[in-house]
Structure 1
Amino acid sequence: MPFLLHNSYTFWISRLASTMQERFNKELETLDVTWPQWMVMNVLTHELANTPAHIAEQIGVDRSAVTRLVDRLEKKGLVTREHDGLDRRSVKVHITGPGKMMVQHLDEAAARHQEIFLQELHPTEYRALKGNIQKLLRAGGIESTSLWRHV
């Protein structure tokens, strides 16, 4: 029996993620920020990371991608870099005041956009979905429990 595209969980999960991201991107575009740039600023604002390597780990991209993202955000005045006085290879990234204000607005927008989809679920269904997503991530070698704190 052939494996049909529409029987693929990967297809449907990807389609859902794309739809959710496209809708949020419309809000991001009004502020000249991309989805990956928002992720970097969100992680910095909520003090989950402050080095390129740790930011990369938090948002699931490689370090060189973070460097390019930080370059763009720095040009926009949304983040700054601080080099270690003893080891110039060591860099800390900090969110600026304007960056924090933008993240506050975008965090609220992200919550609104997510709620549009989650309102279809009963709280027990949401918790089950979260648990099942975490199981699938673990099966793929990604441990999300320390990152996914809130229900």
Structure 2
Amino acid sequence: MKFLPELFNDTFDELFYDPFFSKSSSYMKTDIKEQDGCYLLDMELPGFKKEDIQMELKNGYLSIHAKRDANSEEKDKEGNIIRQERFSGSCSRNFYVGEGVKQSDIKASFCNGELKITLPKVDQKAVEEKKVIAIE
């Protein structure tokens, strides 16, 4: 797998904040591919609805937030819940996609618990090389 120098460089950072991984780390797992001059993000969001997901682009960061309240959706009318393992709460991911990406350039679709995002591949600003000046 080829890692890009700046784009998506913070993709996996949040996994290492909690040594035992937080409950939400099992959500929003993402595959990132480069294809035909675009980046394709495939994100798993099982159990979420399209209305539960929000995306925002700000200062070169694409933020994806998802919120799910299992308590209101899945009330048991015939008894008390003894144990509930279904996720209830919110999770989010942030990806640095570059300052040249515009909101209108981003396409997204959601089907069967998978969010698919297409981003244009924008040339990054060239980092100025260090040039040594010879002293005579």
Which structure has more strand as a fraction of its residues? 2
By relative contact order (CA 8 Å, sep 6+), the higher-ranking structure is 2
TM-score (ref. length: structure 2)? 0.28
Structure with a larger share of its residues in helix: 1
Greater C-alpha radius of gyration = 2
